[in-house]
Structure 1
Amino acid sequence: MDARTDRVLPRRLLNDPQIVHALTQRNFTPVFAAAKAAGLSYNAIAAACGMKTERVSLIARGSATVTSIDTVERIADGLHIPGGMVGLAERCWEKQPARHPSSRTGDDLMKRRQLLRGALAAGLTTASLTHITEARQSGDRALTVTGTTDLAHIESAAEQHSYGYRGRPPTDVLADLVADFSEMTPLLRRPQHAAARARLSHLTSMIAGMTAIVLHDLGNRREAHAWFRTAARAAEESGDRALHAWVLAREAMVPLNFGAPRTAAGLAEQARHVAGKGTTAAATLASAVAARAYAISGQRDKALAALTEADRLAEHLPAGERTDSWFGHCEQKHRVHLSHALTALGETTRARQNQAQALALSAPTSALTRTLIRLDAAMCDHRDGNSIDGCHAATLALIDLPARFRTDLTRKRALDLYREMPAHLRTLPEAQEFRTMLTP
């Protein structure tokens, strides 16, 4: 037996959700306590980690904490805790020759997903973002290598992801997307025929783009932009102009929803150019996003022209481009875009018509989308001179929204309404209740 095996943290503890969560927070109290209960003595922990036994005991009892990065590294290396679980780079003892995905067991995949979900349990913290960023950077590095493999399982996963949340928490969807992206990275490093390489790049772009969408919905603009850039690079390599245009149009929604409409308009116009003259979901999305951006930035004529083009394209879309997925442009999605653009333009009658149609077409599980539509309707109340009714409607929309969707995205849309309200109305009870709902 290896002389160190009696000092290594029992592997089963690394699959315990409570231990996983503690490690993401670098809280070693439950880790040391669980190790002790599993038969690892404080002396053994101390010897493995280069610490004093007394300090290990204090940490296990919660009387001391670990704050030094050097100590975190010594604990990770001493107990063989994978670096990613504590927000560190991969440790030297973790590095093994790359294996073909088909040789990986279901347990390997499950462990990765459990790790990601554990890290995301506390939200988009520094520790959880480390996992997400490292997955993307690994994909970026792999895209520099030219490289046949069975991609059917990846295509199946991408298709399943493309149908959106379907009532699942965004953090669970994000964990699965990042795990699948990480599974693809070794394939990108292998030499492949040109056709297989293009196919793999296409899938990489899809999964990176969907990851970016979830990060946007969770309110992390910086990481969303980074993943969209990876998606755009992979789309370019795949040679699929429609996919590239889709990535750019979706990325434009980040500055659009977070206060930079002119930047959003620039990205949307770039997407329209890449999409070309074809009647595609990507071209329709790009025109719709451009219309929203122009409307918010006060460029009425450009907004109306982009709306007209979006309507024209939507009307003539082939059936295959109308799928109710992140990559399709179904009528429900189109109505959601029109609702926001027309609300911003003050065209409240037309906006309300589109809001009613969008709500009728939205699944009950589409909590985020339905809330954004209801917030548009509340803004229409305000624009029609019924600000207090708008406050009440917006408050109810936020109350009905599950906590996991109360992110910067929904808060920003609601704040737009509050900031437009005249100062003398903000002292009223309805406005005060609304303001309370906006407190982070």
Structure 2
Amino acid sequence: MPDADRPQELPARLLTDPEMIDACRVRDFARVFRLVKSMAGIYPSMIARRCDLTPSRVGEVIAGRRQLQHMDVIERISDGLRIPGHMLGLARRPWETPQALAVSEREAPQLSEPEQRPPASLPGPDVDSILALATRTKLSAATLEAFRSSIEDYWRRDDQHGGEALRPAIVGQLRHVAGLLKENRPPSIQNGLYGIAAELARLTGWTYFDARQYHQARAYFNEALQLAKEIDDRQFMANVLASMSLQATYQNKPADSLALVTAAQDQARSALGTTPRVLSMLSTREAFAHATLGNRDDTHRAIGEAHRYFEQIRSSDPDPSWVTYFDEPKLLVDTGIAHSQLGEAATAEPLIADALRREDRTNRRGRAFHSFWLARTQLYQGKLDQACHTATQALKPASAVASERVSGHLREFYGQLAPHRQEPVALAFEARLRELLPPVSGSPRP
């Protein structure tokens, strides 16, 4: 159904009104229609049109001269007025499932491994000849700085909007830099280009990871590792391995996650000048892996190490640009998430809540993630009202960013809300959810 033709949602205050709940429970449509008119501004003629009834029939119902008992009529009223099915004793209606909850994890068609077939980051022969023209120009340190600036901008926009729309531009720039690497240049320029290409490959992999296209993500992460290895940038190799560890956690492969983050820490410790901020970030990733495995003592140890490293950070540290995002609010929220993964909701809740109050509000994807984590910790503790309020606040940033990972966190919270689905606060959350993330006709239940 086109958006313009989709019936408008009833206000949450009406769906949670005790009189409306009771009228629906006993199927007193005279009261239902009167409440819909007074509280939602939907007049009898509009009720008739939306529910495929005649105006005279609606008028007779409101006057108490007719009752509506046929199941097909009750279903039309539910669908036309957007009254959740359970309120009228019906099965859940197809329109009640928002699109974000109906989308399943998706994998791109499987490609051969990078050693068998070059990943899409490498230009084809037709692109080579075009890029050859560009390589004849002299590159300078200013050119490298321009590349790095564009990468920082890509990351900022990725946080705000998601990476789907950015990916073609990122891959295009990666191809361009890969072409530049084919020319002989001074070591400082050549090494800088390798570093830029590695970061573009990791960023491309990250956009696929965020879309849950894991095979594609791994191919680009592997490419980033190879590029960083060319210049022996072990800190950056550690960064890529940490990204791969996080992906393994999402894929429910905790043993892989732990192996990858252990390799990341080995790379970082073998590098000259690895900063405390990098080591702190890696320790939180180790905590995630141990928490997913249920290793309580090891999780607590890794959390302690993350905080000890963070306390050693100095403003004069030569932190790589890719780790500057790891500030104190990020440390707190990651600590809270690790505790939450262990089932320690009471410990996790204040940490995540404090981080949310302090973190950058322009990072809409991060705020959506962290709000859903907070809502889950509240729900685990039986704080239904707080959990629904927190999750409702997360819906606006979640609806503004294209991220399958965000949708996944929303689906998890929504599933955990199932036992409380008929409570007024849960009804209000669902109404807001359908308003911001409209349902798809005929979509399956989550």
TM superposition score category, shorter chain reference: 0.5 to 0.7
Cα separation, 2, equivalents of 1:101 and 1:244: 29
Q: Distance in 2 between matches of 1:257 and 1:320?
A: 35
Partner amino acid for 2:152? Answer: S
CA distance in 2, matches of 1:94, 1:184: 12
Provide the secondary structure at the position in 2 that maps to 1:333: helix
Change (3 A) 1:202 1:95: closer
Cross-structure match for 1:303: 299
Does the 8 Å contact 2:235/2:267 carry over to 1? yes
Counterpart of 1:410 (choices 399, 406, 413) is 406
Larger radius of gyration: 2
Which residue in the other structure is 1:3 paired with? none
**Alignment of structure 1 residues 26-425 onto 2, 5 Å:** 96=129, 98-101=131-134, 149-162=139-152, 164-166=155-157, 167-168=160-161, 170-276=163-269, 278-319=274-315, 326-328=322-324, 329-386=326-383, 388-389=384-385, 392-393=388-389, 395-420=391-416, 424-425=419-420
Amino acid at match of 2:144: I
Q: Which has the higher contact order (CA 8 A, sep 6+)?
A: 2
Q: Percent identity at matched positions?
A: 20
Contact 1:199 1:238 in 2 (8 A): no
Alpha-carbon distance between aligned partners in 2 of 1:95 and 1:279, rounded to the nearest angstrom: 38
* Displacement of 1:90: 8.9
Is the Cα–Cα contact under 8 Å of residues 257 and 412 in structure 1 kept in the other structure? no
Distance change (3 Å), C-alpha of 1:333 and 1:213: farther
2: CA distance between counterparts of 1:428 and 1:250?
Answer: 39
The answer to whether the 8 Å contact 1:98/1:186 transfers is yes
Residues 325 and 419 from structure 1, CA distance in 2 versus in 1: closer, same or farther, beyond 3 angstroms? Answer: farther
Change (3 A) 1:395 1:330: closer
The alpha-carbon deviation at position 395 of structure 1 amounts to 4.1
Q: Is the 8 A contact 2:371 2:390 kept in 1?
A: yes
Distance 2:319 2:256 in 1: 28
Separation of aligned partners in 2, 1:168 and 1:158:
20
Cα distance change on mapping 1:226 and 1:429 into 2, 3 Å: farther
Letter in 2 for 1:96: S
Evaluate the alpha carbon distance shift between residue 157 and residue 406 of structure 1 in structure 2; reply closer, same or farther with a 3 A threshold.
same
Partner of 2:106: none
Q: Which amino acid aligns with 2:399?
A: A
CA contact (8 A) 2:367 2:394 kept: no
In structure 1, how many angstroms separate the alpha carbons of the residues matched to 2:123 and 2:199? 26
Determine the C-alpha separation between the residues in 2 that align with 1:395 and 1:414.
8
Residue by residue over 1:400-431, the C-alpha shift from the partner in whole angstroms, topping out at 9 and shown as x without a partner, is: 1253525320122233334556x644565655
Q: Is the 8 A contact 1:202 1:235 kept in 2?
A: yes
- Give the C-alpha shift of residue 202 in structure 1: 1.6
8 Å CA contact 2:174–2:197 kept in 1: the answer is yes
User: Distance between the aligned counterparts of 1:258 and 1:292, measured in 2?
Assistant: 13
Alpha-carbon shift at residue 212 of structure 1 (Å): 2.1
| TM, length-normalised to structure 2 | 0.60
Q: In structure 2, do the counterparts of structure 1 residues 288 and 159 end up closer, same or farther at CA, with 3 Å as the change threshold?
A: farther
Label 1:155 to 1:280 Cα distance change in 2 as closer, same or farther (>3 A): farther
Q: In structure 2, do the counterparts of structure 1 residues 95 and 204 end up closer, same or farther at CA, with 3 Å as the change threshold? A: closer
Match of 1:114 in 2: none
Q: Which amino acid aligns with 1:187?
A: L
In the alignment, the residues of structure 2 paired with residue 92 and residue 228 of structure 1 have an alpha-carbon distance, to the nearest angstrom, of 23
| 1:316 Cα deviation from its structure 2 partner | 0.9
